[in-house]
Amino acid sequence: EWDQVLEFIAARVALIHALAGTFIPLLVTAVMTRFFGANRSFAEGFRVWKFALFAAFAMTIPYLLVATFLGPEFPSMFGGMIGLAIVVIAAKAGFLMPPANENWDFDSPDKWDEEWTGRLKHSVDAPAPASMGLIRAWSPYVFVAGLLILTRLRALDLESILRADFVTWNWPQIFGSDISASFQILWSPGTIFILVSLITIGLHGLRLPDYGQAMSSSLKTLLPASTALVFTVPMVQVFINSSGGAAGYEQMPIALAEGVANVAGSAWPFFATFIGGLGAFVAGSNTVSNMMFSLFQFGVGERILADPIWIVALQAVGGASGNIICVHNVVAASAVAGLVGKEGAVIRKTLLPFLYYALISGSIGYGIVNLSSGVLNVGFVLAALIVLTIIYHIVKYNRRQTI
C-alpha cells in the first residue's frame, strides 16, 4: 500500500538527513563568521566544533528514531523540539562550549555591511521581560505533537474513523477525466493545527480581536503560497497524467526518465539530489518539487536497475536542501528582515551549504544503491573525502590556536 511505501521512503530520507546533517551546524557557524565577523574568517567558526557536532546529533538522532518508529509526519517536529531542548540546556550549562575568552561576536554595528543590513533598523536595547512562563509558551506545540501521535497510533485505531467516507470530500472524474481527488479533512495535520489554535485562546488568555488579528496575519502569509499551489497542483496532474495522446508517448516523467537513464546511467544518484534542489529553487517548496519529480526519479531508478525507493528518497532530501536557496523562501525571509532587493546576496551565501548537502547526500545515496559492488565504491569514497576535508580544517585551526 501507499502508506507503507511512504513509510519506507521516510525512513530512508531520515537516514540520509541524519548522515548529511552532521556537519550542518558547523558549516552554518563557519559561514556566519566568514561573512559577518570582523575578521571574515571561516576558521573562527570551527572553534565551536565540539558543540556544533553535539547540536547536530541532538537533532538528527531523535529525528531518525522518530521517522523509523512513528512515521513520516513527526520527524521534523520532534527532531527539532527534542534537539532544541537538549541544546538549550547544554548551552546554558556551558557544555562543550569554547572558553569565555574565545567568545565570538559580530563586528561593531557601525562597520556592518549595508548589503546585509538593508532597511532593518538595528537596536541594542534590552528585550522586554517575558509575559508568560516557558511551559505555557510551549503548550501549543505539545498539544499539536500529542494530538498527532494519538491520531496516528495504530493501537487506538482512530484512523478508521478520521478517514471514514462520511468525513471525506470526494471529487470523482474531474471535468470528465479519469482523474479523481479526495480530501480527508479530519486526517489532515492542518486540522489539528487549527484546533490547537482555538484551544490556545483559552491557554494564553487571548482576546478574540487579538486572535482574529493573528488569523488575518496568517492568512496574508498563506495567500501567496496558496495562489502558487492552486496553479501548480493542476500543472503537476497534467505532467503526471500526460500519456494516452495520439502520438502514443509515455507520461512526461517516464519519457524524461528514459532519456536521463540513457545519459547518466548508474551515476544518476549523484544528480538526483541536485534535481530535487533545483525543483525547490524554481517551484518554491520541497512539496512541489516532490510532486513534480518523484515519479520521474522513480522511473530513472527502475531503468538504471537501482532501488527506486532510494532514488525517490534522494529527491526528497535534495528538495529539502533546496529550501535554503528557494527564491520564494528567500524573498519572504528578506522581506521580514528588511532585505528587500538583497535576495541575490542572500542566495550567494546560502549556496555553499546547499552544495555541501546535495553533494554529500548524493554521494551517500550512490554508495548505498551500489553497496553490492563493495563499501569502497565511488559514492562512499567521495563522502569520506568530504568528511576528511572538514576534519582537516578543524584540526588545522585548533593546532593554530594551540601554537
Give per-residue pLDDT as tens, 218-264: 787 677 667 766 776 777 777 767 766 666 667 777 777 777 778 88
Q: Which amino acid is at 326?
A: C
pLDDT for res 331:
73
pLDDT at 290 over 90: no
- pLDDT confidence of residue 118: 61
- Asked whether the predicted pLDDT for residue 385 surpasses 90, the reply is yes
CA distance 224 to 284: 11
Question: What sign does the CA torsion over 157, 160, 166, 169 have?
Answer: positive
Low-confidence winner among 24-28, 60-64, 127-131, 277-281 (lowest mean pLDDT): 127-131
Report the pLDDT value the prediction gives residue 158, as an integer from 0 to 100: 83
β pairing state of 181-184 and 168-171 = antiparallel
d(CA 373, CA 367): 9
Question: In this structure, what C-alpha cell is assigned to residue 281?
Answer: 529553487
Cβ atoms of residues 149 and 70 within 8 Å: yes
Say what the pLDDT of residue 106 is.
78
Please state, in angstroms and rounded to a whole number, the distance separating the CA atoms of residues 233 and 46.
Answer: 43
Neighbours of 70 (CB within 10 A): 17
What grid cell was written down for 228? 502558487
Q: What is the pLDDT of residue 129?
A: 56
Residues 256, 242: Cα–Cα separation, whole Å: 12
Span of 74-78, 229-233, 276-280 with lowest mean pLDDT? 229-233
pLDDT at 316: 93
Res 315: pLDDT: 93
Name which of 48, 29, 27, 25 is nearest 37 in CA terms: 29
Percent of the chain with pLDDT over 90: 18
More confidently predicted of 100 and 273: 273
- Asked if the model's pLDDT at residue 402 lies above 60, the reply is no
- Say if residue 74's pLDDT is above 60: yes
Best CA proximity match to 308, nearest among 240, 380, 368: 368
Q: In the numeric block, which cell numbers belong to residue 175?
A: 471535468
- State yes or no: pLDDT of 119 exceeds 70: no
| Predicted pLDDT of residue 254 | 73
- Mean pLDDT check: name the lowest of 52-66, 324-338, 377-391: 324-338
| Residue whose C-alpha cell is 555553499 | 352
**DSSP track, 124-138:** -PPPPPPSS-HHHHH
Residue 288 has pLDDT above 60, yes or no: yes
Q: From CA 387, how far away is CA 376, in angstroms rounded?
A: 15
Which pLDDT score is estimated for 360? 94
Closest CA relative to residue 73, chosen from 232, 212, 190: 190
* pLDDT classification of 115: cutoffs 50, 70, 90: low
In the chain, where the domains are located: 1-102, 150-230, 242-403
Q: What is the mean pLDDT of residues 277-302?
A: 82
Answer yes or no: is pLDDT of 51 > 70. Answer: yes
Alpha helices by DSSP H, listed for 37-74, are: 49-69
Q: Mind listing the pLDDT tens digit for each residue in 323-377?
A: 888 877 777 677 666 666 777 888 888 888 899 999 999 999 999 998 888 888 8
**Interval 187-220: pLDDT, tens:** 888 888 889 999 998 888 888 888 888 888 878 7
- Dihedral of the alpha carbons of 360, 366, 368, 373, in degrees to the nearest 10: -130
CA dihedral sign of residues 33, 319, 9, 142: positive
Residue-by-residue DSSP string for 284-299:
SSHHHHHHHHHHHHHH
Cell representation of residue 48: 565551536
**pLDDT at position 174 over 60:** yes
Q: How confident is the model at residue 388 (pLDDT cuts 50, 70, 90)?
A: very high
Amino acid 292: pLDDT:
79
Q: Is the pLDDT assigned to residue 303 strictly greater than 90?
A: no
Q: Say how many C-beta atoms besides its own lie within 10 A of residue 247's C-beta.
A: 5
pLDDT of residue 187: 83
Report the C-alpha gap between 79 and 68 in whole angstroms. Answer: 12
Other residues' Cβ atoms within 10 Å of the Cβ of residue 209:
8
Alpha-carbon gap, residue 403 to 7, rounded angstroms? 51
Residue among 73, 64, 62 nearest 148 (CA): 73
User: What pLDDT was estimated at residue 86?
Assistant: 92
Task: Dump pLDDT digits (tens) for 126-139.
Answer: 555 556 777 888 88
